[in-house]
Amino acid sequence: MAADPSSTSPSVPAADGADYADTASAAYRAALQVIESVEPRVAAATRKELADQRDSLKLIASENYASPAVLLTMGTWLSDKYAEGTIGHRFYAGCQNVDTVESVAAEHARELFGAPYAYVQPHSGIDANLVAFWAILATRVEAPELANLGAKHVNDLSEADWETLRNKLGNQRLLGMSLDAGGHLTHGFRPNISGKMFHQRSYGTNPETGFLDYDAVAAAAREFKPLVLVAGYSAYPRRVNFAKMREIADEVGATLMVDMAHFAGLVAGKVFTGDEDPVPHAHVTTTTTHKSLRGPRGGMVLATEEYAPAVDKGCPMVLGGPLSHVMAAKAVALAEARQPAFGKYAQQVADNAQALADGFIKRDAGLVTGGTDNHIVLLDVTSFGLTGRQAESALLDAGIVTNRNSIPADPNGAWYTSGIRLGTPALTSRGFGADEFDRVAELIVEVLSNTQPEGSAGSVSKAKYKLTDGTADRVHAAASELLSANPLYPGLTL
């Protein structure tokens, strides 16, 4: 059954739908006219992006559709202000209005997540994690070592003392979830600076069930003794028990950092509560604001009182000047997420993931862990004889936007992969319900069953593929029907 769009769509609030859509339409028409007068190609690409997003089944688990209120907030002169520093303590004059928007965003974040402290300046999830890593090093390593060396500040150190401190700072251990089990690059992997600044070790999932194995995490923590235990994921289709992760961290004296970028919307919407809510259990929690939380692109760090002073030094320690227009949009998005309708949206996201998984299971498609209980479904496309890359491309031909993803012990490696990661936040924002997601599963199975790898025995391509004639057009037409019944930004005309 389709979700009630008035309770889930970010586009037009139920109370004043038509007026709101008319006002937003007028604002965008005017903005595009102004852009067009300077660089028509940008105006054209912006118009085309809306058309493309309206006409595709967006299943990228990390994407969503922000409300016009959030989007419009980003297009203002708040962008023009430099405001390095923190609220009330800036390196530039004239930051009173930036102070206001940053304070409002931080207040909403603290209230929404029940966090003692919120830092809303990070420009992205990677930046938020970098702020968190630095805050943990500063709190756990730098501050005690400065005291050992009889100094209050690094500026008080001799060159020899500084060398001692640098060796201690740069010689720390981090334990995070492995990439092929669903961890993220920023959790200590080489393509990200976290893999260069920490000695990293990974925990994986149980090879039989695909579920996180807490005993194995505890054993790895006891042996490796990390300074930082990272929990959180970008491609794991199950919930995590953060109370257990905190017990493991406490036992080995590690700081628990949770990266909730993917599921922050489910935490905000109170779908994840108790042991599944990371905020009361983690010392430091990081997130992005644009995924299931449905805000502007950006990041955020939540922290206990102990870590707050070091987190607060994020800019200029590791961040450039805050994007004031984006902090303003974070404030608007967080205000939206505090409305009861957001809770209904978040629950629908989880229910829809369940419907999508059930749709695959009844059509005999393989799923990592055999299902989902969050917003992600990880489809194992080896059951179709395909690589993730072939499946991703064939689905795109049919208007279905997904991304290929490794599965545990992936036989095709991290480039070609054997999985397709699917997420429900975006289409739920359009009003899709369980019936629509069952139909989405049917369409995906139809495409993949009609896709063959190119080549012959002994030299089968991992990239090239062939779709049975007519499949892409037939599925795209069916997808368009679903999409027109659940329009993106209904009433918004350019």
Residue 424 has φ and ψ, to the nearest 5°, of: -100, -5
- Per-residue binding string, ligand DSN, 251-270, x by CB under 6 A, is --------------------
Residue 86 or 234 having the CB closest to ligand DSN: 234
Question: Is 102 noted as a catalytic residue in this protein?
Answer: no
Residue 130 assigned as binding residue: no
Q: Catalytic pick from 4, 55, 63, 84? A: 84
Please, what is the minimum distance in Å from the beta carbon of residue 268 to ligand DSN? 18
- Per-residue binding string, ligand DSN, 208-247, x by CB under 6 A, is --------------------------x-------------
Residue 62 or 64 having the CB closest to ligand DSN: 62
Subset of 28-67 contacting ligand DSN (CB under 6 A): 62
Residue from 5, 125, 183, 322 binding ligand DSN (CB under 6 A): 125
Binding to ligand DSN by residue 287, rule CB under 6 A? Answer: no
Residue 262 or 281 having the CB closest to ligand DSN: 262
Subset of 170-199 contacting ligand DSN (CB under 6 A): 184
Please, what is the minimum distance in Å from the beta carbon of residue 182 to ligand DSN? 10
Residue 62 or 304 having the CB closest to ligand DSN: 62
Question: Is 288 noted as a catalytic residue in this protein?
Answer: yes
Contact 493, 25 (CB under 8 A): yes
Question: Is 466 noted as a catalytic residue in this protein?
Answer: no
Binding to ligand DSN by residue 419, rule CB under 6 A? Answer: no
Q: Which residues contact 260 (CB under 8 A, 6 or more apart)?
A: 232, 267, 278, 285, 286, 287
Per CB under 6 A, residues contacting ligand DSN are 62, 125, 184, 234
Binding residues for (6S)-5,6,7,8-tetrahydrofolate: 179, 183-185, 305
Annotated catalytic sites, by residue? 82, 84, 259, 288, 291, 297
